[in-house]
Amino acid sequence: MIEHVRAVREAGGEPLEVKLPRDLEQVGGLIIPGGESTTIGKLMVLYHLDTAIRQRVAEGMPLFGTCAGMILMADEVVDGLPDQPRLGLMDIRVRRNAFGRQRDSFEAKIEAPAYREPLEAVFIRAPYVERVGPEVEVLGTYEGKVVMCAQGSLFAAAFHPELTRDRRVHQRFIELARAWKRHALLDRCQ
């Protein structure tokens, strides 16, 4: 998580750690970091963040999931536990640990036409997307596999952009979050 805090700061954002549902009221967007998706999901349920996140996303708040965060956002997970908690917000099917175990971690450039030049990517026990729904835009691929996508204000990456020096992914998310926060503030003032 500390790497995302640094990346957001370097990309021009103002990071705030979210630990409880009330913290969501102060942010214009939320990043769900990598880690162990089952554990993160159980903690979200325990602290009622799952419900709060779904509510804020329904209001339009941008959400960005990296690696385990992508798994938690998916509406379908292959190779997950049957009772694995997840948000189920994106119309994607994700395969967990699709690129192998921890020892199979690697760095690579991914094709990402929206960014004009390939993105540096760090893959650690990374998933990939097996199916995208009709509303999902593919933003990045590696060896023909979908590793970054968006659906409205939802944004997911199978890799860890926070572990590279390239801040374009975080910059794009910060722009989405700022635009939504301005819009939400204007709605409250009217």
- What distances in angstroms separate CA 120 from CA 31, 74, 110, one per listed residue? 19, 23, 7
What is the distance between the alpha carbons of residues 104 and 126, in angstroms, rounded to a whole number?
A: 10
Catalytic, out of 162, 175, 183, 189: 162
Q: Which of 67, 111, 117, 143 is catalytic?
A: 67
Residue 92, judged by CB atoms within 10 A of its CB (0-12, 13-18, 19+), counts as buried
149 catalytic, yes or no? Answer: no
Backbone angles phi, psi at 81, to 5 degrees: -70, 145
Contact status, residue 60 vs residue 19, Cβ threshold 8 Å: no
Q: How far is CA 140 from CA 113, 115, 131, 190, in A?
A: 7, 9, 14, 38
Residue 160 bears catalytic tag: yes
Active-site hit among 160, 170, 183, 189: 160
H/E run at residue 94: strand 90-95
Token readout for 190 is 């009217």
Residue numbers annotated as active site: 67, 160, 162
